[in-house]
Structures are given as structure tokens and as C-alpha cells.
Structure 1
Amino acid sequence: MQAHTTTRIRIYVQPLPLPRSANFAGTQHPNILIMAALFSLSLSYLSLLLVWWAATASPALSYYKESPYSYGGTSPTPSRPPNNKMMNVIDGCWRKDPNWATNRRKLADCAIGFGKYALGGKLGATYVVTDASDDPANPKPGTLRYGVIQTQPLWIVFAGDMVIQLKNELIMTSFKTIDGRGARVEIAYGPCITIQYVTHVIIHGISIHHCTPGKPGLVRSSTTHLGHRQGSDGDAISVFGSSNVWIDHCSLSHCYDGLIDVIHASTAVTISNNYFSNHDKVMLFGHRDSFVADKAMKVTVVFNHFGEGLVQRMPRVRLGYAHVANNMYDQWEMYAIGGSANPTILSQGNYFQAPSASDLKQVTKREAKSGWKNWKWRSSKDLFLEGAYFVQSGWGTVRPSYTADQAFSAAEGMMVPFLTADAGPLNCVSRRPCTT
């Protein structure tokens, strides 16, 4: 176990003393004495107000100060606000609009981080899924597969609740949005979603679970191409050689392999507001240690809830860059954030609750026997509970290279229960704000 330290900040407030001056020594100037006393009292109250503001605006400040290497500790859990009305910056962009159902494309303006510019089907027509059946080679109009293989941009919605059991992996084309708002949509009990060598894909508001490996066979990847596939791995979502991808407000669990894999030089990806549960290898970023093209990979992981029954890889990063911010971690069975092959990781404003086992308190795991102390892994604004701690390493900046549009300000870790309270698919009702 690597050493770690804890640094605490205590803030003391004392009333300011009255100024000592010959002008205030006697009783010749009672009005001035009164004014001076009031001035001193006002400054005392101002000091208290500033301390209250600091604790409120930056809640973790009262508990931890960053050390140059690592730190850990415990802290009380904040209570949730009434009706969970506090929203993070992504949700605040669209959820308060009662006309969200007739203005669905507004969602495409709301991403943050590296996947900010994912258009999905914003510039295309609306396609309605009316049929839950599936034919991998010759999909029928009205099915999900028929929509995702079209060559033109499409915003794909669902006529009602449905469970879609795919017969082979669902291969998406560029400029597509899968939007599950207003219905309960599940993709389950079969192969799941492949995003391969495409760009501008948004997946929002669906549940993906119990995904199985795909079998070798013919699968249509566009209206003009039918090819033989060797079989998918059993991931919920596989992002392969793709860019400008945003996965938001989904629920992912119980799959054969990973829940989300981002590999083969994929980049410009944001994974946000999702609920992950009951799985071993949650997220893998990077194909293998020797695949140097993954150095270009940039992924933002923000406002997600890593819930019950998770073991590891939240995420595991190879070679590239990951900004992991304002996520909720409800324990882990091995570790939370890991990596190999010198990735750069900024953990910022996360809420880490360690498991009870004394040998599992460390958030981080590095797959390396030597050289890892030079890797840039940093923690800022994180909140550590039940003895959790993050081992930092490396020198130099780890700030994400965001544009002004991509950039966002990560909150203190104490705020994460509020910001992730609605992770997973939302229960949106037409003509009402999506606030429940």
C-alpha cells in the first residue's frame, strides 16, 4: 500500500478589536465610539458571511486541502435538495422546457467536454421506431436498425415503450441520434451497439443491459453495404475509430464484456449522466498498450453515477487523456480509476466512497511495475469517504485542452449527490418540464 497523507483546514473567526487611538480614549466623543463599535461588529459579521460563502461555494474546502502527492479521509454526506430540483449544466440546458418533445434537437446544443460538438441527427428528419423486431441483414422500415443504417442524418425517437432484442450487433452510421425520451426503451438480451468508423453520434435516454456477444454472420452497416462480421465482444456500447460521440442519461449493466469501450483512436467523446451498475469491467479507454494511435484519444466522463455491484474500470485508460469530473462512486470491488501505458488523467470534483475492506481504499490502480510515478494523474476538488484516497503522480499541467464551448467548471465533490441525482434515463412527459 502506498503512503498517503491528509491535510485539514480549520477556519477561525474572531471579532475585530476596536482601534486604539487617543481620539477614542475618553468619553469626549461618544458618537465616534458608537460608530467604531458598529463598524467593528459589521466587519465581524462580514467575516462570518465570507466563511459561510466559502463553505457553501466550495464544500470540500472545510474538509480537505490538496497535498502534492495524495490524500484521503472522511466527511459527512450532504442531504439532497427537495425534489432533486438542482440540475447540472447539461440538464439545465433543456429539462426545464415544457416543449422539449417538440424541440428535441435542443439537446444537441447541451453537451460539454470533448464530445461537445456531437451533432447526432440535429440537421436531419425525425424517424420513429414503431417495431421492436430485428433483421440484421434486411431490416424492415419502422425498426431501430432500419433507422441507424440510413445514410442521411436522422433524429430517432420511439412510438412507445419497447424492449428490443437484437439478433446481431447494431452498427450505426454517422449523424444519428437515438433519443429515448418519452418512452421506456431497452436494448437487451442480445448483441448491442457498435459505433465504428463514424462520427457525430448521440445516444440518450435508453437502458442497455444483458448484452451478449454477436455471432459471425451477415450484418448490414448501411443501405449500400452488407458484410460478414466476425462477431462482437458483448459490450453495451463499443466506440471504435470514431469521433464526436455523446452518450447521455443511459442505464448500463449486466453485459458480457464492457459497458462502454472507447478504442482504436476514438476521440472527442463525452460520457455523461449515465447510471452504471452490476458489472465487472465498466469502461475501457484504449485498445492495447502498444496501440500508439490511442494517444490522440480524449474523453470526458462527467455527472455519472457508478452504482451498486461494480468491480473495476471506472474508467481504465491507456495512452490517451481522460477528464473524470463530478461523478458519484458507490464503492468498488477492486478499484475505481486505473490505467496503463502512461495515460493522463484528471480526477476533479468526484465523490469517492471506499468499500469497507481495508485493502481496497485506494481509488487508483496502475498496471505498471515501474515508471508510473512520471504519469500525469491528478486529483482536484475530490471528496474521499470511508478512507478512500487517490495516489497522484507526475509533473506538469493536466488541464483539459477544451475550447471555450467545451469548457465547464467542475463543482466541489460535496455537490456530486445533487448533480448526479437523476443519472440514467429520465421519466419525461410531453408538454411538461422533464424535472421528475
Structure 2
Amino acid sequence: MAFPSSLSLFLFFLSSLLSPSTLISSSPVPDPERVVEEVHRSINASIARRELGYLSCGSGNPIDDCWRCDPNWDKNRQRLADCAIGFGKNAIGGRDGKIYVVTDSGDYDVVNPKPGTLRHAVIQDEPLWIIFARDMVIKLKEELIMNSFKTIDGRGASVHIAGGPCITVQFVTNIIIHGINIHDCKQGGNTYVRDSPGHYGWRTISDGDGVSIFGGSHVWVDHCSLSNCHDGLVDAIHGSTAITISNNYMTHHDKVMLLGHSDTYTQDKNMQVTIAFNHFGEGLVQRMPRCRHGYFHVVNNDYTHWEMYAIGGSADPTINSQGNRFAAPNDRFSKEVTKHEDAPESEWKNWNWRSEGDLMVNGAFFTASGAGASSSYAKASSLGARPSSLVGTITMGAGSLSCRKGSRC
């Protein structure tokens, strides 16, 4: 993550006073368990419809069943914004704006972007729903610094952001990133980059994340395929919150997902993230995710590969793992799903980490702690996760999709 200069931060603060994003609350949900229950209700409803045959194309995945059955999805693209679940469900992106068609895969000038390029689209002040005229491989010269109320929608084309710095969501709100292949992301920085029509600033060296969320809120990353980046595939730090990461296919990477800046950065206590219906696949090592301070709902994901551990954390995060499938590696020393980090057992035994309805395969085991380790918690949970046996069906379409106009996606 590239840290902005003090001048850039000051100018951003002044501009934000007049920005529509200041009207959007990024304060934490007072009762995160209610959001968890909403997620379960939506999953249960989708599966019930599927079992009754109401949706011949229904998968039991409530996000997908919201839009993929529509053969005219390309004429109703912005309907997608109403399909999110979890903590990021209010991310509307560019739903209320115009369609912007990217026609040029180039990234010629990061201070004065050329109209028709992705960089020109994402920095605009007004809400925009950004789509692509054709298949593209976009190699960015520097981080793609997004402005608020934007959707990047790759449906109908094969769009790769690869081989250079990738996407940065910094101090902005209402972002949807959907249907993009994001891989081989590199570091950038030590140069000026424009982040809005009226401002550009100096960027220090970036981390080289696939999607970097820094002080961002109401962010939804859905149906992307991510792999092989310099640092994280999706990282969220510095007070980011109201995030849903769903239906993504992640492969070939070490430190997959960092949620929380540091053990001492207590502003991340407000972080609330839903991680749903993702496939954590081959070549992954650790951090799926690694959490600090906040509340993390990990539901109906398919973990088919890890080398060290799947879910870890430090600094007393709440981790609510429900209805996931965890297939442990053959290495007998790496069977544990969880890793309580940077604290003695006398401390981490009080952290609230719980597993409900998870399917443990090949010797996998989850070390619960805090309230999650008590039998009274299981009895008090009135609304259980959908059976983990359905995870394969729910996550079958994880990653970027091959959608054709005029037919169901």
C-alpha cells in the first residue's frame, strides 16, 4: 500500500468535505450478528427456491440467483448492485450513474489519463458503471486509484488487470469490482498519480496488492479471479469497513488476504467483513484471511488448498466460521485450519473464534476459542449456516465468469 503524502491527505480532507461520500455512513453495524442472520436468511431462501424448482438455473447462491438467471443481464447491468449480501451489501458502486465504456486498454499518462481508458473512468467525480468494449489485458503503469461510486464490471468480456500495479481503494466509498482477472500485480510508486479530475498527488512505493482497500468503506469484490501478486490478493487496512468479498477464485499465492493494519492500529476494531462463496484453490499458503481487531464472517467458502493454515489472526478479532469446507493438506503438521498469532494461549483463549457447521476433510481441525469454544454458544445460535455439503454447488461458479449477451450468465 502506498502511503499518501501529508499534503495529499490534507487536500483529500478538504475535498471530502464537499464529497457525496461524506453522506455515507461507514460506522460499524451495532449488532453484527443481525447481519450474519440476514446472510443466512438469503442463503436459505435461495436454496429453498432451488429445491422447489422455482429457478431452473438456481444454484442456492443468493448473489448469483439475484442476477445470473436473467438472459438480459447486459441490459440490466446496474441491477447487480442490489444483489450483494453481508457487511458490504450497501455498496452501490455506480448504480445511479451513467455507463462508461472502456475502449482503450492503454495506460499512457497517469497524471492526465486519456478518455476511454480505465484510469480515466475510475477517477471521475460522478457515479459511473464501467464496462469494457472487448476483451482486454490492461497493464497499468501505476496503481489504479479509484474515486467513490464506481463499478468495474467485466461481464461480457475477458478483462485482465495484470503485469503492473493494480487496484487501490483509498479513502473512498461505494466501490464494486466484479468479473475481473487480477494477477501478477507489481509494486509501483515514487511518482505522481491522479485520483480525481481536480487532484493528483505523490505516491510512495505501493505494496503490490491485487485489490488494496485503505480507509475504504462499502466495498464489494465479487466474481474475480486473483493470483500471484507481490503482496496480498485482497488487503483491507486503516479503518476500512463494510466489505463483502464473495464468489472469488484465488490461487497461486502466499499471503492471500490481510484484514487489519497492525495489532496496535485500534481503529480497525470497526472493521466488519463478510467472506462468502469463495474458492481458495491450488497454490495458496496462508491468510485466507488473517484478521485483526474486527468482526469477520466466513461463510460457505471452499478451502481446497493451504500449506500453512487457512484462517489466522491476532489482536482479539471475532471470527465466525460457518458452513465452510476445509480440506487439509497431507502434511500432518498443517492440518489445523486456524492460527492464533502473536499471543500466548492465556491471551488468545479469550478471543471469540467459532466454527459452526464446517466440514473438516482429511484431518482438518478448527481450534475454537472464547465464547465460540463454549457449548452454550452452539445452543444459543438459532439460525445455522447452510450445510457445508452444499458448498461445492454454491461455489461452482467462483471467479470471473464467461457471460454472453442475450443468454443466462
- Which letter maps to 1:148? V
1:187-237 C-alpha deviation (Å, 9 max, x unpaired): 000000000000000000000000000131010010000111112110000
SS at match of 1:389: coil
In the aligned structure 1, how far is the partner of 2:384 from the partner of 2:115? 43
2:97 is the counterpart of 1:124: yes
- The Cα shift of 1:398 comes to 8.3
2:212 is the counterpart of 1:238: yes
In the aligned structure 2, how far is the partner of 1:236 from the partner of 1:429? 26
Aligned to 1:158: 132
In the aligned structure 1, how far is the partner of 2:339 from the partner of 2:398? 26
SS at match of 1:395: helix
In the aligned structure 1, how far is the partner of 2:397 from the partner of 2:371? 36
- Which letter maps to 1:214? G
1:135-189 C-alpha deviation (Å, 9 max, x unpaired): 2111100000000000000000000000000000000000000000000000000
Aligned to 1:99: 72
In the aligned structure 2, how far is the partner of 1:315 from the partner of 1:343? 12
The TM-score, its normalising length taken from structure 2, stands at 0.82
- Which letter maps to 1:379? S
Question: What is the RMSD computed on CA atoms of the aligned residues?
Answer: 1.6
Identical columns (%): 62
2:356 is the counterpart of 1:383: no
Which of 377, 386, 391 pairs up with 1:416?
391
Which of 374, 380, 392 pairs up with 2:368?
392
Aligned to 2:348: 372
1:386-429 C-alpha deviation (Å, 9 max, x unpaired): 00010101027989xxxxxxxx9731111100000000011111
2:405 is the counterpart of 1:430: yes
Long gaps (5+) in structure 1: 1-56, 58-82, 400-407
Aligned to 1:196: 170
In the aligned structure 1, how far is the partner of 2:116 from the partner of 2:377? 46
2:324 is the counterpart of 1:350: yes
Long gaps (5+) in structure 2: 1-43, 45-55
Change (3 A) 1:398 1:224: farther
SS at match of 1:93: helix
In the aligned structure 1, how far is the partner of 2:189 from the partner of 2:265? 26
In the aligned structure 1, how far is the partner of 2:317 from the partner of 2:169? 23
Which of 237, 245, 248 pairs up with 1:274?
248
SS at match of 2:366: strand
Aligned to 1:29: none
In the aligned structure 2, how far is the partner of 1:242 from the partner of 1:150? 17
The TM-score, its normalising length taken from structure 1, stands at 0.77
Change (3 A) 1:273 1:182: same
Which of 222, 231, 244 pairs up with 1:248?
222
In the aligned structure 2, how far is the partner of 1:160 from the partner of 1:266? 33
Which of 292, 301, 305 pairs up with 1:327?
301
Matched-pair contact (CA < 8 Å) for 2:357–2:384: no
Change (3 A) 1:123 1:86: same
After superposing on structure 2, the runs of 4+ consecutive aligned residues of structure 1 that deviate more than 6 Å are 396-399
SS at match of 2:333: helix
Aligned to 2:26: none
1:334-355 C-alpha deviation (Å, 9 max, x unpaired): 0000000110000000000000
Matched-pair contact (CA < 8 Å) for 2:92–2:174: yes
- The Cα shift of 1:87 comes to 4.2
Matched-pair contact (CA < 8 Å) for 2:187–2:207: yes
In the aligned structure 2, how far is the partner of 1:329 from the partner of 1:304? 8
Matched-pair contact (CA < 8 Å) for 1:346–1:398: no
1:232-288 C-alpha deviation (Å, 9 max, x unpaired): 110000000011000000000000000000100100000000000000000000000
- Larger Rg: 1 or 2? 1
Change (3 A) 1:227 1:118: same
Counterparts of 1:221-236 in structure 2 under 5 Å? 221-236=195-210
Matched-pair contact (CA < 8 Å) for 2:307–2:329: yes
- The Cα shift of 1:84 comes to 8.5
Which of 90, 104, 108 pairs up with 2:81?
108
In the aligned structure 1, how far is the partner of 2:89 from the partner of 2:145? 22
1:3-42 C-alpha deviation (Å, 9 max, x unpaired): xxxxxxxxxxxxxxxxxxxxxxxxxxxxxxxxxxxxxxxx
In the aligned structure 1, how far is the partner of 2:129 from the partner of 2:158? 17
Aligned to 2:155: 181
In the aligned structure 2, how far is the partner of 1:252 from the partner of 1:178? 15
Aligned to 2:31: none
Aligned to 1:10: none
- Which letter maps to 1:244? H
- The Cα shift of 1:107 comes to 0.2
Matched-pair contact (CA < 8 Å) for 1:344–1:398: no
- The Cα shift of 1:85 comes to 5.8
- Which letter maps to 1:389? F
In the aligned structure 2, how far is the partner of 1:410 from the partner of 1:137? 48
Matched-pair contact (CA < 8 Å) for 2:356–2:384: no
In the aligned structure 2, how far is the partner of 1:225 from the partner of 1:118? 24
In the aligned structure 2, how far is the partner of 1:84 from the partner of 1:430? 17
